[in-house]
Amino acid sequence: MMYRAIFLVLIFLPLCLLSQTETTLIHSAGKVRDSSYTNPILAGDYPDPSIFRDGDDYYMTHSSFEYYPGLLIWHSKDLVNWEPVCHALHKNVGSVWAPEFLKYQDKYYIYFPAGGTNWVITADSPKGPWSDPVDLKVGQIDPGHVVDLDGKRYLHMNYGKVVELSDDGLSAKGKEVSHSYDGWDIPDDWDVACKCLESPKLTYKDGYFYLTVAEGGTVGPATAHMVVSARSKSPLGPWENSPHNPIVHTWSKDEKWHAKGHGTLVEDREKNWWIVYHAYERDFYTLGRQTLMEPVEWTEEGWFKVPEDIQTNLPIRKKVVENGGQMFSLSDTFEGDKLGLQWTFYKEYDLSRVQVGDGMLQFRAEGDNPGNSAPLLCVPSDESYEIQVNYELVGDTQGGLVLFYDQSMYAGLVVNEGKFTIYRRGQPLNAGTNLMGQTGYLKIRNVGNTVTFYYSPDGEEWQKIERSFVVDSYNHTAFGGFLSLKIGLVSIGEGSVNFRDFVYSRID
């Protein structure tokens, strides 16, 4: 297949973005009249993608872990340009891992593991409203839904487990979990973290049920994670492994994309097939697992594989839709009356802490450091960027900007009425006297994982604080948790912090 290397489709700042607050609107790839795209299709920390087509529309969601509201839903007309629709999960039931998003008999379902069990939520529209989560009382992780030719519904899970569902899909029938699949045998001389048979996704085509799974371990050696496939005449097996395994795999640590895995098949309107999966960007594991896509082709023998001439980091031919999607800047002027879709709390989900409107976010203080303050966070999508905000301290409080991995690992610039404090690896460092008092501007620049800090009384003239350091180690390989380095706002102590004019800017 020949590729025309014209100009690349601009893939958007893929972040959870504002729907209900005013932001700067940026048109995404759809406005570029071209026939190619470049990976990722959703940049930033959007792991474990689950995707399906609904007529002329495509919908996708991802793991949301400890961030609430959770399960952000994305919509597209062409699989390349994506815009956020809503959060589907508003009740904290634990850390939300790999979900399964689907439509069945005019109803929409999301199955997901959290808190040691599996849950399901439903809606009549992807835009909601979504139901409260229902506990299926079934363990395991990574659910994958399938319906057999007689209309029986099943949920596949990790380690080749499967359970039958009730007709309405809201409970496990008999709660009996059986074993269905042993996986593909990874060669002994490959560098992997474990076999880790996970993320079963099922597709029915031409008389076969195709089981697409991940093996090798999500994080470990760059070459660990992979996508493999098997097929059967029954959704319960026996399964025959594909001769083309692994379907998706990082073969060398020198590649741009590491740990490629967790794939889902989707057929587009033109009857072309694609596999959507996640991967880490080499040298930027801080950005988390990003969403990528490659075409697949079907062989005469009825197997699917990625064409041999496809290179993940080069343009890939694909019809895109003009104005097929829009993206929004992460920047927020807080003009609406609700938090925008880019904002999530870490762990503690308490909307009573925030009031939004008239150009201001009033954020009630909590905790005594950024780690236990339940910050408001969103997902950066660039290797280099800066964030800035105007703050106003109300009461005995501290406020500021953070680059946040988890409650013990973060960097940031925090201010009270008398001094600046910089946090490095979750530890405070005295950064000097605050002569601005209760109001001013703060800025963090992250250029290729090197972080610097600034303050300004007016947002025009900036003073650099003489402390800089690198944050490239703030990722899962060092600290676990499968998280990423998010950006956000903290309000600490007693009282509140009023934030205005939050600005996110890419640095080229």
- Inter-residue contact 392 to 438 (CB < 8 Å): yes
Structure token digits, residue 413: 């610039």
Angle at the Cα of 106 (from 105 to 108), degrees rounded to 5?
A: 100
Cα 481 off chain centre by: 14
- Inter-residue contact 21 to 13 (CB < 8 Å): no
Q: pLDDT tens track of the chain, all 508 residues?
A: 333 333 333 333 333 333 333 332 232 333 334 689 999 999 999 999 999 999 999 999 999 999 999 999 999 999 999 999 999 999 999 999 999 999 999 999 999 999 999 999 999 999 999 999 999 999 999 999 999 999 999 999 999 999 999 999 999 997 789 999 999 999 999 999 999 999 999 999 999 999 999 999 998 899 999 999 999 999 999 999 999 999 999 999 999 999 999 999 999 999 999 999 999 999 999 999 999 999 999 999 999 999 999 999 999 999 887 654 445 679 999 998 999 999 999 999 999 999 999 999 999 999 999 999 999 999 999 999 999 999 999 999 999 999 999 999 999 999 999 999 999 999 999 889 999 999 999 999 999 999 999 999 999 999 999 889 999 999 999 999 999 999 999 999 999 999 999 999 999 9
Q: Is residue 73 part of a domain?
A: yes
H/E/C letters for each residue in 331-342?
Answer: CECCCCCCCCCC
Residues 30, 38: Cα–Cα separation, whole Å: 13
How far CA 94 is from CA of 66, 69, 97, 175, 218, in Å, comes to 7, 11, 9, 22, 20
Instruction: Give SS3 for 476.
Output: helix
What strands lie across the sheet with 50-54, from one edge to the other? 50-54, 57-61, 70-76, 83-89
Residues 370, 410: Cα–Cα separation, whole Å: 8
Question: Which of 328, 354, 378 is the last residue in one of the domains?
Answer: 328
Structure token digits, residue 352: 């009573």
* Claim to verify: residue 293 and residue 348 sit in the same structural domain: no
Q: Is residue 378 part of a domain?
A: yes
Helices vs strands, H then E, count in the chain = 1, 40
- Inter-residue contact 93 to 347 (CB < 8 Å): no
Instruction: Give SS3 for 371.
Output: helix
Q: Is residue 5 part of a domain?
A: no
* Claim to verify: residue 32 and residue 140 sit in the same structural domain: yes
- Inter-residue contact 143 to 111 (CB < 8 Å): yes
Residues 228, 160: Cα–Cα separation, whole Å: 13
pLDDT for res 176: 80
Instruction: Please list the residues that pair with 443 across neighbouring strands.
Output: 388, 454
Q: Is residue 197 part of a domain?
A: yes
What is the domain range of residue 358?
Answer: 344-506
Instruction: Give the number of other CB atoms < 10 A from CB of residue 57.
Output: 12
- Inter-residue contact 506 to 385 (CB < 8 Å): yes
**For residue 246, is the peptide bond before it cis, meaning its omega torsion is within 30 degrees of 0?**
yes
- Inter-residue contact 104 to 147 (CB < 8 Å): yes
Question: Which of 280, 297, 328 is the last residue in one of the domains?
Answer: 328
Q: Name the DSSP class of 478.
A: H
* Claim to verify: residue 182 and residue 64 sit in the same structural domain: yes
Q: Is residue 287 part of a domain?
A: yes
* Claim to verify: residue 298 and residue 405 sit in the same structural domain: no
Q: Is residue 13 part of a domain?
A: no
* Claim to verify: residue 321 and residue 379 sit in the same structural domain: no
Q: Is residue 1 part of a domain?
A: no
Q: Strands 50-54 and 67-68, how do they pair?
A: unpaired
* Claim to verify: residue 303 and residue 349 sit in the same structural domain: no
Residues 433, 446: Cα–Cα separation, whole Å: 23
Structure token digits, residue 276: 């959507």
Question: Which of 266, 296, 328 is the last residue in one of the domains?
Answer: 328
* Claim to verify: residue 323 and residue 246 sit in the same structural domain: yes
**What is the longest distance spanned by two Cα atoms in the chain?**
73
Q: Got the DSSP string for 184-200?
A: ----TTS--S----EEE
* Claim to verify: residue 110 and residue 139 sit in the same structural domain: yes
* Claim to verify: residue 54 and residue 194 sit in the same structural domain: yes
* Claim to verify: residue 314 and residue 361 sit in the same structural domain: no
Strands (E), 100-225: 100-104, 107-114, 117-123, 134-135, 144-147, 153-156, 161-165, 172-179, 198-205, 208-215
Residues 82, 325: Cα–Cα separation, whole Å: 5
Instruction: Please list the residues that pair with 57 across neighbouring strands.
Output: 54
* Claim to verify: residue 298 and residue 365 sit in the same structural domain: no
Question: What is the phi/psi pair of residue 12, to 5°?
Answer: -75, 160
Residues 258, 282: Cα–Cα separation, whole Å: 6
The number of folded domains in the chain is: 2
Per-residue buried b or exposed e for 85-94, using 16+ beta carbons within 10 Å of the residue's own CB: bbbbbbebbb
User: For 394, left (φ over 0), alpha (ψ -120 to 50), or beta?
Assistant: beta
Contacts of 152 (CB under 8 A, 6+ apart): 164
| CATH number of the domain that residue 359 is part of | 2.60.120.200
Question: What is the phi/psi pair of residue 285, to 5°?
Answer: -65, -20
pLDDT for res 371: 97
pLDDT for res 329: 76
Q: Is residue 338 part of a domain?
A: no
Question: What is the phi/psi pair of residue 360, to 5°?
Answer: -145, 140
| CATH number of the domain that residue 272 is part of | 2.115.10.20
* Claim to verify: residue 364 and residue 259 sit in the same structural domain: no
